[in-house]
Amino acid sequence: MVKAIVGANWGDEGKGKITDMLAENSDIIIRFQGGANAGHTIINNYGKFALHTLPSGVFYDHTTSIIGNGVALNIPVLIKELKQVVSQGVPTPKLLVSERAQIVMPYHILFDQYEEERLAGKSFGSTKSGIAPFYSDKYAKIGFQVSELFMEEEELREKIERVLIQKNTLLEHLYHKPLIDADEIYNTLMDYKEMISPYVCDVSLYLDQALKDGRNVLLEGQLGTLKDPDHGIYPMVTSSSTLAAYGAIGAGIAPYEIQKVITVVKAYSSAVGAGAFVSEIFGDEAQELRIRGGDKGEFGATTGRPRRMGWFDCVASRYGCRLQGATDVAFTVVDVLGYLDEIPVCVGYEIDGQVTKDFPVTSKLEKAKPVLKVLPGWKSDIRGIRNYEDLPANCRAYIEFIEKELGYPITLVSNGPGRDEIIYRGFEK
């Protein structure tokens, strides 16, 4: 059986924690999209980890971790992360990398930086990990698959030279930056080949057999619905699909194998990068939530930059769950709200004088004003509670109000960053 763990919002919903937790009863955990531009923070018995590339299931010795073909693979970052977790006492993970995954090239990172510089004030707020240039090249069919590292030298050199004609033209005339040398790229790719060789695998074939053998598989998404290039807040989105449906493509399995879509929804909102954010709050109100948020404040796992903060957004989250095809909602970080007397929740968008509950396209979203409903707080620390009935009545009322607004069942409630800080509410293990 395949379960996808994906985000309904702007990312940072706590997918890493849920994946780490569910990996206990899983055999294989796969990253199927995105790259080292976002991070998952995980706290477990080995310590605290910020993973950017490795799947969040690497902490068990019974699991196999897979980098699927849909991922933007930064080979040195992956190898560094692997060494890092092992140095922190984690058993050496069993890692497989799809031979069809494409490689983040050193120039992708440079182009990301140069483009942000060129756009200056109008930039997308990229993490400068090379993700947008990487996916542009993939779909322009000038990317490099892992399998191409194993081509004949002459063939590979010929391709590098062909691609560099384009890159160097842009470097010279658009960015006015130093040109790239073909020999240097070839040598870098040979280093990458050595690093990645032990892990390369025909992943879709491996998964086909694993599913025939009845293995439990988790697909781990990065970011959330609102950052999807098709269904998100385009153009302030990421460059690969963040939807569970893409899990089938980015891992190489049949779509009908994905039987559960565990959609992670955070009890308040946070976002990174530019773009419309209707329920955003500012000033002291935002700073207090930012500092109390997550396990140690809402600051980016990759960049350390402060996240933008907001109240829970029912409109965006309902849409986020719908596009993911949520079978279960994991409602996270509820404990953080325990300091508030009252908790505003965004229940509608007012656009040109009309109130809507349906998430609109970006041009309309930019005009939307939040319609807020204020719910009573519970003013207590709920960490440590394991039974839903033991939560304060106002906390249950908050969860149940949001469940009704979402229209999808909240079957997991997360009340702390730790692996065991979870309340089961009808979730089938």
Nearest to 73 by CA among 31, 111, 104: 104
| Minimum gap (Å) between residue 56 Cβ and ligand GDP | 7
Q: Do 12 and 298 contact (CB within 8 A), yes or no? A: yes
The reply to whether 173 belongs to the active site is: no
Site for ligand GDP, rule CB under 6 A? 7, 11-17, 38-41, 43, 294-295, 301, 332-333, 335-336, 414-417
Q: In this complex, which beta carbon is closest to ligand GDP, that of residue 33 or of residue 160? A: 33
The whole-angstrom separation of Cα 114 and Cα 130 is 10
Distance, CA of 190 to CA of 149 (rounded, Å): 7
CB nearer to ligand GDP: pick between 229 and 418: 418
Query: Is 381 assigned a catalytic role?
Result: no
Q: How many CA atoms lie within 13 A of 341 on its CB side?
A: 1
Least distance CB 327 / ligand GDP (angstroms) = 18
The residue from 20, 40, 328, 335 that is catalytic is 40
How big is the chain, counted in residues? 429
Could you give the CA distance from residue 140 to residue 395 in angstroms, rounded to a whole number? 50
- State which residue, 17 or 31, has the beta carbon closest to ligand GDP: 17
Choose between 167 and 231: whose C-beta lies nearer to ligand GDP.
231
Least spacing, CB of residue 167 vs ligand GDP, in Å: 31
Write down the catalytic residue from 12, 137, 228, 328. 12
CB of 305 to ligand GDP, least distance (A): 12
At its nearest, how many Å lie between ligand GDP and the CB of residue 422? 8
341-344: long-range contacts, CB 8 A cutoff, minimum separation 24: 341/376, 341/377, 341/379, 342/374, 342/375, 342/376, 342/377, 343/311, 343/312, 343/374, 343/375, 343/376, 343/377, 343/398, 344/311, 344/372, 344/373, 344/374, 344/375
Give the β-pairing of 28-31 and 217-224.
Answer: parallel
> Is the CB of 323 or the CB of 371 nearer to ligand GDP?
323
List, by residue number, the catalytic residues. Answer: 12, 40
